[in-house]
Structure 1
Amino acid sequence: MKLIKLALTSSLLTTSLAYAKPPEPELGKRWVINNAYSDEFNGNSLDKRKWLDHHRTWKGRPPAMFDPSTVSVQNGNMQITNKMLEKPNKKFTISGGAVQSIGQTAYHGFYESRFKASRINMSTTFWLSNRNVPFEGKNHLGQDCERDGWSMELDIVEAVGGVIDKAFGANFRQGMQYNTHVWYSGCEKGSRSRFSKGANVAEGDGTQAFNNKLPKGEEVWQNFNTYAAWWKDENEVDFYLNDGFAGRIQVDTSLLEKPYSRPMSMQLLTETYDWGRPLPTPEQLADNSINTSYYDWVRSYYYVDVDKDAVQQLERVGKADDIFVESATVKTTKLVRDTLQFTYLYETDEDVTALIELTKDSQSIYSQTVKLKAGYGHLADQIKLTKAMDFDNSQLTIHLLSNSQQKIASSKPVKVSVNVK
């Protein structure tokens, strides 16, 4: 598996090796990789089907300018190496980097990235956003004109490994800072408003953060950590840090009732902030031991019915990436007269066959096969025998079989007993 390989070969890793995956799916649901917004960065250049090495509409926030020369793919990571700009350009003196998705269709689903921040006062970020479009009709502010427009921004994480001279600076070094923004360009020329909620006290309202801190003593520049968001619907986003629930945001509805209702593009970039001072020095920007942000991977998932296909916007090329740990787990069992009802979870990178088997005294007394679609799914099934007593002291096991019918994973056997009074 990829995580095992990284643990053995990467000198950049120390801790935070927890296996990353979306939350447990609801019964009847499945998580499946969204190819257009997922990348393991295992090549030697950006995948041009998926990524730009710049931002379509934004040069950067002075003094840092987005510079394609800072972006590289090597050693299993997408790297952004911040530096001094070779030729200062008006207000711009620093080179940061921006990797933006070609696609602009990221919508409700799960988005996660595993990265290690630089140790300078520039951010390492992972977020979604879209462009300003005309606002149709009257909004909650009571405005209705031809000029007004709106856009959305979902900041999954903004990490800063340097020491910011603000009281809240430690938050960006020691945990996960996330926000939701709804931007509004009003009827008056030049007016722009932001309606925000989130853990980031610099740009949000500083609320709704629960378990968004790294273990005591750890900082974002030391190790790789996994940052994720489940964009659930038009009004709600859940956030996760290293697979742990980190907070929930009910998106601000000051402008409209269902604000998170448009697809977005994805951004992985480094930048300077107006409130992030002091700025990195030329010496820090020349120090390759602290000036680089390392992105191990980015993964995105559709949430679909367990037996339905996800319509991919970008088809997979070659063998499936090693994302899921092939496994099956029996979740619940319930004996109802002569029928055993059960639910189970499974994970697989490829379509497989599940062999559902009931054994007794080491002998198989029942078996059936079910086709499972690739992903992380949760489903229900049942076994019917002649009489309830036939189940007594039997064991239920679910095996995953490859296309060649070889067992690739098996659940822990679950004992079935008949309660005879």
Structure 2
Amino acid sequence: MKLTKFLLTLSLFSSSLVYAKPPEPELGKRWVINNAYSDEFNGKTLDKRKWLDHHRTWKGRPPAMFDPSTVSVKNGNMQIANKMMEKPNKKYTISGGAVQSIGQTAYHGFYESRFKASRLNMSTTFWLSNRNVPFEGKNHLGQDCERDGWSMELDIVEAVGGVIDKAFGANFRQGMQYNTHVWYSGCEKGSRSRFSKGANVAEGDGTQAFNNKLPDGEEVWQNYNTYAAWWKNENQVDFYLNDGFAGRIQVDTTLLEKPYSRPMSMQLLTETYDWGRPLPTPEQLADDAINTSYYDWVRSYYYVDVDKDAKQQLERVGKADDIFVESATIKNTRLVLNSLEFSYLYESDENVNALIELSKNNQSIFSKKVKLKAGYGHVADQIKLSKAMDFDKTQLTVHLLHTETEKLASSEPVKIKVNVK
């Protein structure tokens, strides 16, 4: 928990932030960390409660095979150091890496990761997927048999730092390439279809990109960037690049009406692509200055009512990670008869007490304490007055408390404007 007082200037619009967090919650809602799919990577090894150092069902796309020896945790990063295989394995000659979540229950919520890609013609990726399961009943294609099945894939970002010899190569080097896929194994033996939408022109339809380019020609290997997706419901996913809205996908409904209706697992991995040529050379793969993908952190959030607990699938151990900048921001005030109605945003890594204070001429004239649950919330509250009063030179302030009296953070005081209903 950050103990430095942090003031945010009152605004009716979202502030420009220098740290990552989910979009501003709606009134009465709150974002809270989902521990099973979040990691700051500040230890010395992968957290075995959360992660595998390989992929359960996939070796990798030739010529790169997932190799646990490429994965490490050090210097506050999960690192995947791509390399040439010492002993080629048939069609595999390159070692990439895969970190996959133990959990397979990631569902509607916000998912973000901050990373820096390698400078190879290998991807640095962040995505969700699930396994193929039997399709129940008749689908939109009119097929209904015992053989058919389906799965989902949400590619939050696929970044390639190398120079691909395709016209679209710069897209993977200079911005955020995202996709949604619905996979279908049909009734005919061996048939497999993919229904895709997204910014990724190599594996999707190349549509629905909004603001998915890095500024000033910056490339994905040069700096850390934050890539995020708000999986809102069965049909919609919003994407964010460095806290800016990057695009929206209405998931393809060719197969079924509500395709994004099953939980998934999380993947952080590096791979080669059939369309990503030329392949990295042995010299490039041996160059530690360009061969490594650096994941600073991955964070996932539930979206819940502001006063409700989120049922964690994996409880944290010890204190909360330092995610939120403890703060409060008053959004609006309204005087209705003898009640002062107001709303405010707050952030806190831990459950915290808040002091609501009315002051006039720098003297406190009313205060009350409320309990706030950990997270990033948007609260509606009111102060009921025993009688009408003159609000001239009266201010409202929300304080987050570290102790009973010590203030952890305070909103900017807001002058009360009379607006009688």
Considering the TM-score relative to the shorter chain, is it more than 0.5?
A: yes
Per-residue CA shift, 1:184-211, capped at 9, x if unaligned?
Answer: 0000000000000000000010000000
Residue 88 (structure 2) pairs with residue 93 (structure 1): no
**Aligned residue number for residue 78 of structure 1:** 78
Q: CA deviation at 1:336?
A: 1.3
- TM-score, normalised relative to structure 2: 0.95
Residue 343 (structure 2) pairs with residue 348 (structure 1): no
Q: CA deviation at 1:104?
A: 0.2
Contact 2:333 2:417 in 1 (8 A): no
**Aligned residue number for residue 32 of structure 1:** 32
- Map residues 6-85 of structure 1 onto 2, 5 A cutoff: 18-85=18-85
**Aligned residue number for residue 7 of structure 1:** none
1:114 & 1:77 partners in 2: Cα distance? 10
Corresponding residue SS for 1:189: coil
Residue 374 (structure 2) pairs with residue 374 (structure 1): yes
Residues 35, 54 of structure 1: CA spacing in aligned structure 2 closer, same or farther, 3 A cutoff?
same
1:85 & 1:132 partners in 2: Cα distance? 30
2:152 & 2:18 partners in 1: Cα distance? 31
**Aligned residue number for residue 204 of structure 1:** 204
Residues 207, 336 of structure 1: CA spacing in aligned structure 2 closer, same or farther, 3 A cutoff?
same
**Aligned residue number for residue 365 of structure 2:** 365
Contact 2:29 2:379 in 1 (8 A): yes
Corresponding residue SS for 2:229: strand
Contact 1:228 1:241 in 2 (8 A): yes
Residues 183, 419 of structure 1: CA spacing in aligned structure 2 closer, same or farther, 3 A cutoff?
closer
Residues 400, 273 of structure 1: CA spacing in aligned structure 2 closer, same or farther, 3 A cutoff?
same
- Map residues 244-255 of structure 1 onto 2, 5 A cutoff: 244-255=244-255
Corresponding residue SS for 1:171: helix
**Aligned residue number for residue 109 of structure 1:** 109
Per-residue CA shift, 1:327-363, capped at 9, x if unaligned?
Answer: 0000011111221110000000000001000000111
**Aligned residue number for residue 260 of structure 1:** 260
2:163 & 2:17 partners in 1: Cα distance? 25
Per-residue CA shift, 1:213-253, capped at 9, x if unaligned?
Answer: 00022000000000000000000000000000000000000
Identity of paired residues, percent?
A: 88
2:311 & 2:279 partners in 1: Cα distance? 45
Residues 81, 190 of structure 1: CA spacing in aligned structure 2 closer, same or farther, 3 A cutoff?
same
**Aligned residue number for residue 390 of structure 1:** 390
Residue identity in the other structure for 2:339:
T
**Aligned residue number for residue 325 of structure 2:** 325
Contact 1:393 1:418 in 2 (8 A): no
**Aligned residue number for residue 153 of structure 2:** 153
Per-residue CA shift, 1:266-311, capped at 9, x if unaligned?
Answer: 0000000000000000000000000000000000000000000000
Corresponding residue SS for 2:80: strand
Per-residue CA shift, 1:23-63, capped at 9, x if unaligned?
Answer: 00000000000000000000010000000000000000000
Contact 1:43 1:74 in 2 (8 A): yes
**Aligned residue number for residue 270 of structure 1:** 270
Corresponding residue SS for 2:271: coil
2:250 & 2:156 partners in 1: Cα distance? 14
Residues paired across the two proteins, number: 408
Residues 237, 402 of structure 1: CA spacing in aligned structure 2 closer, same or farther, 3 A cutoff?
same
Residue identity in the other structure for 1:85:
M
Corresponding residue SS for 2:72: strand
Residue 199 (structure 2) pairs with residue 216 (structure 1): no
Bigger relative CO (Cα 8 Å, ≥ 6 apart): 2
1:147 & 1:36 partners in 2: Cα distance? 33
The two structures, once aligned, show a CA RMSD in angstroms of 1.5
Please say which of residues 403-412 and 78-87 is displaced more in the overlay: 403-412
Residue identity in the other structure for 2:31:
W
Q: CA deviation at 1:419?
A: 6.9
Residue identity in the other structure for 2:80:
I
1:233 & 1:38 partners in 2: Cα distance? 20
2:129 & 2:419 partners in 1: Cα distance? 56
Corresponding residue SS for 2:370: strand
2:415 & 2:208 partners in 1: Cα distance? 42
**Aligned residue number for residue 309 of structure 1:** 309
Q: CA deviation at 1:405?
A: 4.3
**Aligned residue number for residue 280 of structure 1:** 280
Per-residue CA shift, 1:141-165, capped at 9, x if unaligned?
Answer: 0000000000000000000000000
Contact 2:354 2:401 in 1 (8 A): yes
Q: CA deviation at 1:393?
A: 1.7
1:300 & 1:226 partners in 2: Cα distance? 13
1:395 & 1:359 partners in 2: Cα distance? 5
1:384 & 1:311 partners in 2: Cα distance? 33
Q: CA deviation at 1:403?
A: 4.7
Per-residue CA shift, 1:72-106, capped at 9, x if unaligned?
Answer: 00000000000001110010000000000000000
Residue 131 (structure 2) pairs with residue 131 (structure 1): yes
Residue identity in the other structure for 2:309:
D
Residue identity in the other structure for 2:325:
V
Corresponding residue SS for 1:173: helix
1:405 & 1:156 partners in 2: Cα distance? 44
2:320 & 2:124 partners in 1: Cα distance? 28
